[in-house]
Amino acid sequence: MTNTVIPPADGTKSETDLDPFLDPWTEIERLRRQKNAVILAHYYQDEEIQDLADFVGDSLDLSRRAAATDADVIVFCGVRFMAEVAKILSPEKTVLLPDAAAGCSLEETCPPDAFRRFREAHPDHLAVTYMNCSAEVKAYSDIIVTSSNAEAILAQLPEGQPILFAPDQHLGDYLARKTGREMTLWPGTCVVHDQFSERQLVKLKVHHPNALVVAHPECHDGILGHADHVGSTRSILNFVVAAPGREFIIATEPHIIHQMKKAAPGKTFIPAPGADGGCNCSYCPFMELNTIEKLYLALVNTAPRVEIPEDLRLRALKPLQRMLEMSPPAKTAPARAA
Ligand code: 13P
Ligand code: SF4
């Protein structure tokens, strides 16, 4: 797989060089202004990163922000595929990812060569591919979707068009049921959403009979079958803010609860449990690699930096542009950090 993230050069500052008295918040503020940088953060980032970001959003909102920004530098506090999308859409910008190892389990389950063979084995199919994949897999795809626009995009495809969907099988399965489309699915899953336990969720619901369950469509069917609302991270956030209920069980990565508490302080948000009844394993291990210190160092070192060979970028751009053209306009602006 093409390495698209250039690590810091030898001799640049690392975490061990940091002055223990350094105030990273003040320093990030200074560097942000000095370098004309914008900080974009996904809802799954640590609370402190969300709070200093210029924009917090779901993967579609963030890609739109990255495409529209007039900043010179985008610090992408999220995972590699999201930062790659920012670079594909804004090649003239410097795009930084605080930790070069911040990948994604869905991306890992879909190696580009295997995906190319999957495509070649189904020449009459359209490859509708979830955003959570490498730039190379995007380059082999026809249209990219996210969980917030997939249904609307599928509705625009001709009836009877055979479809390949990769890499998330649970999202693919959910979309096939919702839209009535037959889709050949890639067998990928997300480590975070796959580990929620239906048995433990049912037990939790017994203790919180009035709680509404909201779930990301990367969850398996056992969880989605209990959900009062299924949607992208932003859609889940909008739902819990607007719904008349007071208690909600959140079946997605629990860092999003930070924005929920800010937007609806009087409501109660309970993370959905994993098999052990707790929620510790539902933190995304890739998102967690980014820290305030690494964000500061990324601005100091201008690295780790996303660089994509131009021929690959142009091939990955096409299905992303198709996605943006076919997406319904954003109804709600991405949540702005306080
Ligand atoms: P959203 O597009 O809903 O933000 O989801 C991204 C993601 O990685 C979910 O695991
Ligand atoms: Fe990937 Fe899952 Fe983490 Fe989302 S939560 S970035 S799909 S590993």
Ligand index nearest the alpha carbon of residue 256: 1
pLDDT at 270 over 80: yes
Which range has the worst mean pLDDT, 260-264, 268-272, 275-279, 325-329?
A: 275-279
Mutating to test ligand 1, I would choose from 85, 131, 134, 170 the residue with most ligand atoms within 8 A of its C-beta, which is 131
Q: How far is the CA of 172 from the centre of ligand 2 (A)?
A: 15
| Mean pLDDT score, 163-186 | 97
Any ligand 2 atom below 6 A from CB of 192: yes
DSSP reduced 3-state for 244: coil
105-115 per-position pLDDT tens digit: 999 999 999 99
Look at the chain and count its residues.
338
> Mean of the per-residue pLDDT values for the chain?
95
Name which residue sits closest to atom 7 of ligand 2, judged by CA.
190
Nearest-5° angle of CA 330, CA 334, CA 338?
160
Check residue 281 and give its pLDDT. 67
Start-to-end Cα distance in the chain: 38
Check residue 254 and give its pLDDT. 97
The span from the CA of 25 to the CA of 242, in Å, is: 32
The yes-or-no answer to whether 5-103+286-308 and 193-271 have a common fold is yes
231-251 per-position pLDDT tens digit: 999 999 999 999 999 999 999
Q: How far is the CA of 159 from the centre of ligand 1 (A)?
A: 27
Check residue 331 and give its pLDDT. 65
Check residue 157 and give its pLDDT. 97
The span from the CA of 145 to the CA of 128, in Å, is: 7
41-56 per-position pLDDT tens digit: 999 999 999 999 999 9
Name which residue sits closest to atom 8 of ligand 1, judged by CA.
132
Assess if CATH 3.30.930.10 describes domain 5-103+286-308. Answer: no
What residue type is assigned to position 318 of the chain?
Answer: K
Name which residue sits closest to atom 2 of ligand 1, judged by CA.
59
Name which residue sits closest to atom 3 of ligand 2, judged by CA.
284
Mutating to test ligand 2, I would choose from 44, 109, 190 the residue with most ligand atoms within 8 A of its C-beta, which is 190
Any ligand 2 atom below 6 A from CB of 106: yes
Q: How far is the CA of 166 from the centre of ligand 1 (A)?
A: 15
Q: How far is the CA of 190 from the centre of ligand 2 (A)?
A: 6
Please list the residues that pair with 76 across neighbouring strands: 40
For the chain, give every domain's residue range: 5-103+286-308, 193-271
What residue type is assigned to position 313 of the chain?
Answer: R
> What confidence tier does 333 reach under pLDDT thresholds 50, 70, 90?
very low
Any ligand 2 atom below 6 A from CB of 59: no
pLDDT at 336 over 70: no
71-110 per-position pLDDT tens digit: 999 999 999 999 999 999 999 999 999 999 999 999 999 9
Check residue 279 and give its pLDDT. 62
Please list the residues that pair with 305 across neighbouring strands: 6, 96
CB under 6 Å to ligand 1: residues? Answer: 58-59, 132, 146-148, 190, 216, 218, 232-233
Q: How far is the CA of 253 from the centre of ligand 2 (A)?
A: 8
Q: How far is the CA of 19 from the centre of ligand 1 (A)?
A: 35
Number of Cβ within a 10 Å radius of residue 21: 5
At 73, phi and psi to the nearest 5? -125, 135
Q: How far is the CA of 106 from the centre of ligand 2 (A)?
A: 7
The CATH class, in words, for 193-271 is alpha beta
Structural tokens at position 238: 């909008």
Residue 82 CA, closest ligand 2 atom number = 6
Q: Is this structure's pTM higher than 0.85?
A: yes
